[in-house]
Structure 1
Amino acid sequence: SLDGLGEFIFSRTRDAMVERIKAMPKGSWSNALVTDGYDEPVKLAATVTVRDAGVEVDFTGTDPMSRWGINCPIIYSKAYACYALKCVVAPDIPNNAASLAFFTVSSPVNILNAVRPAPVALRHIFGHMVPDLVLGAIAKAMPGKILAEGAGALWNIHISVRPVSGGSGRRAEVLMFNSGGMGARPGLDGLSATAFPSGVHTMPIEATEHTGPIVIWRKELRPDSGGDGEFRGGLGQVIEIEAIEGHEFDFSAMFDRVNHPAHGRNGGGPGVAGVVRLDDGTQMRPKGWQHVPAGRRLILQLPGGGGYGDPSKRSTEARANDRSKEYISENGK
């Protein structure tokens, strides 16, 4: 039987969590984020309360459910809230029933606690914003220890490619997972084009092109997109997509941080907002199904992460290194 070993692991985990939570400041701290939403901005709100018995997160104050599929079930919101807490309280302690038992998450019915039959297909958009929301509250309790806000939600895109009317060719459905920049950390720059909090990777562009009649002309870091600071926010990326000759495509945009970029921390500047457009300058919406005609290219400019600390303290050497890295990315050399 493994029961004895399991109890040993749980008891050690439980004792370690008690020790970590005991060392935290006690009280309640609140934070709010304004996100792009679908057809209007959406406010997310959280209050984090730390007691000797554990840590509570309450999403009271968050905007109501939406008629669009951007609602998030409470189980998804709870998972990402606990992830944020775990990163701060005990990143080195195993995730198990004993460690997670110290975290409780509650909410009235709202966009982070959607109930049936609310549409939830794009739950990841606001679910991936929950860690920044929770960390923003904890930053007030533990100044100088929490990273800046990042791009948050993945820039997922579903592409439906087909031959132009009357033509011949291939049809295909292509899904890409793309990441903006992480927020800068106390003592370190943010990671560029890196998924946080999801950790998901995407396929190489060669594999993506193999799945359907599309060409990805560019996939590179986006210069100057990270927020300024003593430690710079992670860079977003630029992705340029076109259907092959004789084809057109529709795409489902699942993006955020277009109208509300990531905030910096402790004096750091905001990350640069995302942009969705065609190569002729036509602006596209950050969410919903849209059309790209044959011969046009879709350009995605993913948002950067917020900076951390006073920008005047960033060293000359670090700034020179920033430009060198961006030049290499921009020119492919």
Structure 2
Amino acid sequence: MRTNPVVLEMLMQRFRSVAEEMGYSVQRTGYTAFVNETADLGVALVTPKGEIFGYPNGIGISTFVNLDMSDAFGAFDHYDEGDIVITNDPYTSGGMSSHLPDVNVFRPVFHNGELVCFTFAYVHSTDVGGNVAGSLTPSNYEVFQEGIRIPPIKLYKKDVANEDVLKLIMNNVRVPADNWGDLRAMITALRVGERRVHELIERYGRDTFLSAMQDCLAYTETRVREQIRRIPPGTYRFHDYLDDDVASEVPVRLEVAVTVSGDSMHLDFTGTDPQLKSAFNLYSASKPHPWLIYKLMSLFITMDPGIPLNSGMMRPVSVTAPVGSVVNCVFPAAIGLRTTMGVRLQDAVMGALAQALPEIVPAAGSGTIVPVVFAEPSPTGRGVEVNVLEPLSGGTGGGSQSDGLHARDVVDLANLRNSPLETVESKSSTRVFIYGLRPDSAGAGKFRGGCGVVFEFEVLAPDCVIIARGMERLRFQPWGLLGGACGAFGRIEVKRSGSDHFEQVHKADALRASVGDVIRLSTAGGGGYGDPLERDAQKVLDDVLNGFVTVAGAERDYGVVIRNRLLDTAATVKLRASRKSTAVPPLHTLGNARLAYETLWNPEMWQAFVTLIYSLPLPLRYEIRGRLWREMEARRGDGRTADIAALEQAWRDMEVRMAKSGVAPVVKKALAA
């Protein structure tokens, strides 16, 4: 490193503080509740080559520390002072944006005519157009349905606004005043960052600034490589699922093989399902995109809390993300719910690394982040009003030393704060009945998981739409570790006006509701870690008294008997002794639903199935995948043979039927192409 170590440490802290000032500037001047309350935003200082060297610790999304901005920066051959570029399109920005509601802006910073860095900001916009209010819904199958696509384009040239571009954007969104207010907040933050960079250069000099900018990346990289060397070398495999893609009932399988070699790490997602005709796809641009690997950041910081946050953190990490898969989809696939996909991918990655680091990696969290979007007719009679009521999550998984946290998974998105209920009710036609922790939802263990959340509200206006995108773990529970139990399933329930009972519904696309309807969303709890019978009985009593566990749950899940709010020690000892087993538990507790599902879809069967699907042309994969899956499930259901030979025969029969229906020439043409 060229920079004096003392000076480097001071400048690294200044880089971070500049980014944090930018972040608080966006939040405090933002217009919408999703920015000024929830804080779904991000800021950074970025090198001219697109690497983040200044990132906040205390404000904004923590997951984008390795976001590669090189393609977006390279969209222009020349920049002038005062230029501001805007984009929200993943496909033309090289994955800088990961779905259309994330509106990104960046500004070049010059010193004596030389480009020294960029300032960057983004916010999640409440609406960017598209076919539903809020822009995102699972049933979208093309990005064109999800809103206006803005390729990297100069919104400002030499500090003069391009009014034509601005008008084009604002005429294609439902709430232009909201979008413009948040956009102005970001522009302000870019200028704040530029001013602070000039001050740093004036104080320390251009050369020191530039060398520190590079050296801080190298310093972080070195410290991360030191931690990777602590991980036992080898290849660790795991898979997890999305419940389905809403467009069909077929679960979405996510495979990963994590290979640790020396001081580097490689993640291979080969074997993952092909891209979907729904909005759960992720466009990673064949890069180590944050949504593929962001939880590694949490792992490295857990192992070494002093590692500075910047793009150097992920330099030792590479990925294989098959083109045309759900982790690296092809245009124009819909990508609106990429968060749901990214969250479950991290469960798979951590499930693999738990085999290498069971003393560090916790059980699975709820794997759920649900911005509850509420759209209602505008009082003016023109258009709709759109609000995010709450960003719901569930519990984190228990670990080897501590219980999971309640309602804070995904912890990597823990910047997303809940909105005050007074704000929710004043900005939307709703009345909130329940917003609190969900008893008995945490996976039992020596260290239990965290509880999920219950959010129940009444609709007070006609013709409303609720989109609870990202609601997951309704089918497969969050897994536990080393004998810990799974977290509870998630639930969606609706009580229609005039009814006296709730009905459970599956994942909602766009749920229509009217006056008097009551919606109840219950998120999953985190998985438990270790044998629940080894949990300190006093801690179980404390959980009961605090409302996290019921009296029945304490006895059922922990073998702890509580009577009249007091611990019955003798009965507890007797009950636990009767249940104690000498059997060694598996590393992962996967839950009965997943174990039953995988009696058919075991690793060998899945490998044969996914290999067949990827041998087909991209346009045919989704349809054939669904047909073959249903055929094999039907065979299982009626007792017929459902094995690899049956799968291959089913495909041959399908080819014959397609030939008779006249589809064969189309297939042959696609295969030839």
| TM beyond 0.5 | yes
Q: How far did residue 4 of structure 1 move?
A: 2.7
Task: Give distance in 1, aligned partners of 2:508 and 2:278.
Answer: 10
Q: Report the equivalent of 1:105.
A: 319
Q: What letter corresponds to residue 485 of structure 2 in structure 1?
A: G
Q: Report the equivalent of 1:186.
A: 400
What is the number of residues matched between the two proteins?
325
Say if 2:288 and 2:317, in contact at 8 Å, map to a contact too: no
Say if 1:214 and 1:241, in contact at 8 Å, map to a contact too: yes
Q: Report the equivalent of 2:514.
A: 293
Q: How far did residue 327 of structure 1 move?
A: 6.9
**Which is worse superposed, 44-53 or 289-298?**
289-298
The within-5 A match list for 1:116-155 is 116-155=331-370
Bigger RCO of structures 1 and 2 (CA < 8 A, at least 6 apart): 1
Q: Report the equivalent of 2:374.
A: 159
**Which is worse superposed, 180-189 or 319-328?**
319-328
Q: What letter corresponds to residue 141 of structure 1 in structure 2?
A: A
Q: Report the equivalent of 2:605.
A: none
Say if 1:171 and 1:212, in contact at 8 Å, map to a contact too: no
1:191-248 CA distance string (max 9 Å, x none): 111131322223112111111111111101100100000011100111111112x535
* Structure 2 unaligned blocks of 5 or more: 1-205, 496-500, 551-673
TM-score normalized by the length of structure 2 = 0.46
The within-5 A match list for 1:322-333 is 322-326=543-547
**Which is worse superposed, 68-77 or 248-257?**
68-77
Q: Report the equivalent of 2:475.
A: 259
2:265 counterpart of 1:52: no
Q: How far did residue 85 of structure 1 move?
A: 1.8
Task: Give distance in 2, aligned partners of 1:18 and 1:301.
Answer: 40
Q: How far did residue 13 of structure 1 move?
A: 2.4
Q: What letter corresponds to residue 334 of structure 2 in structure 1?
A: P
Say if 1:161 and 1:173, in contact at 8 Å, map to a contact too: yes
The equivalent position to 1:13 in structure 2, one of 208, 216, 220, is 220
2:445 counterpart of 1:229: yes
User: Residues 321 and 13 from structure 1, CA distance in 2 versus in 1: closer, same or farther, beyond 3 angstroms?
Assistant: same
Q: How far did residue 82 of structure 1 move?
A: 2.9
Say if 2:275 and 2:326, in contact at 8 Å, map to a contact too: yes
Describe the SS at the equivalent of 2:392: coil
Task: Give distance in 2, aligned partners of 1:182 and 1:36.
Answer: 19
* Structure 1 unaligned blocks of 5 or more: none
Query: Which structure has the highest helix share of the two?
Result: 2
Say if 1:172 and 1:213, in contact at 8 Å, map to a contact too: no
Describe the SS at the equivalent of 1:247: coil
Q: How far did residue 263 of structure 1 move?
A: 0.6
Q: Report the equivalent of 2:462.
A: 247
Task: Give distance in 2, aligned partners of 1:327 and 1:310.
Answer: 18
What's the C-alpha RMSD, in Å, of the aligned pairs?
A: 2.4
Task: Give distance in 2, aligned partners of 1:64 and 1:179.
Answer: 27
2:292 counterpart of 1:96: no
Q: How far did residue 156 of structure 1 move?
A: 2.1
Q: How far did residue 77 of structure 1 move?
A: 7.5
2:293 counterpart of 1:82: yes
Describe the SS at the equivalent of 2:374: strand
The within-5 A match list for 1:65-80 is 65-74=275-284, 78-80=289-291
1:281-321 CA distance string (max 9 Å, x none): 22223130122232220011111110111111101111011
Task: Give distance in 1, aligned partners of 2:406 and 2:230.
Answer: 32
Say if 1:172 and 1:211, in contact at 8 Å, map to a contact too: no
The equivalent position to 2:484 in structure 1, one of 268, 271, 274, is 268
User: Residues 253 and 285 from structure 1, CA distance in 2 versus in 1: closer, same or farther, beyond 3 angstroms?
Assistant: farther
Q: Report the equivalent of 2:129.
A: none
Q: How far did residue 171 of structure 1 move?
A: 5.4
1:4-48 CA distance string (max 9 Å, x none): 323442343233233222222111111100221222211111110
Task: Give distance in 2, aligned partners of 1:209 and 1:171.
Answer: 17
Say if 1:231 and 1:314, in contact at 8 Å, map to a contact too: yes
The within-5 A match list for 1:27-46 is 27-37=234-244, 38=246, 39=248, 40-46=250-256
Say if 2:394 and 2:524, in contact at 8 Å, map to a contact too: yes
Say if 1:221 and 1:236, in contact at 8 Å, map to a contact too: yes
Task: Give distance in 1, aligned partners of 2:446 and 2:298.
Answer: 23
1:77-116 CA distance string (max 9 Å, x none): 7313432222223443123233211011221121111121
Say if 2:443 and 2:488, in contact at 8 Å, map to a contact too: yes
**Which is worse superposed, 37-46 or 261-270?**
37-46
Task: Give distance in 1, aligned partners of 2:510 and 2:222.
Answer: 50
Q: How far did residue 328 of structure 1 move?
A: 11
Task: Give distance in 1, aligned partners of 2:539 and 2:433.
Answer: 30
Task: Give distance in 2, aligned partners of 1:97 and 1:303.
Answer: 32
Say if 2:364 and 2:527, in contact at 8 Å, map to a contact too: yes
TM-score normalized by the length of structure 1 = 0.90
Q: How far did residue 190 of structure 1 move?
A: 0.6
Query: Which structure has the highest strand share of the two?
Result: 1
Identity of aligned residues (%): 28
**Which is worse superposed, 85-94 or 228-237?**
85-94
Q: How far did residue 260 of structure 1 move?
A: 1.2
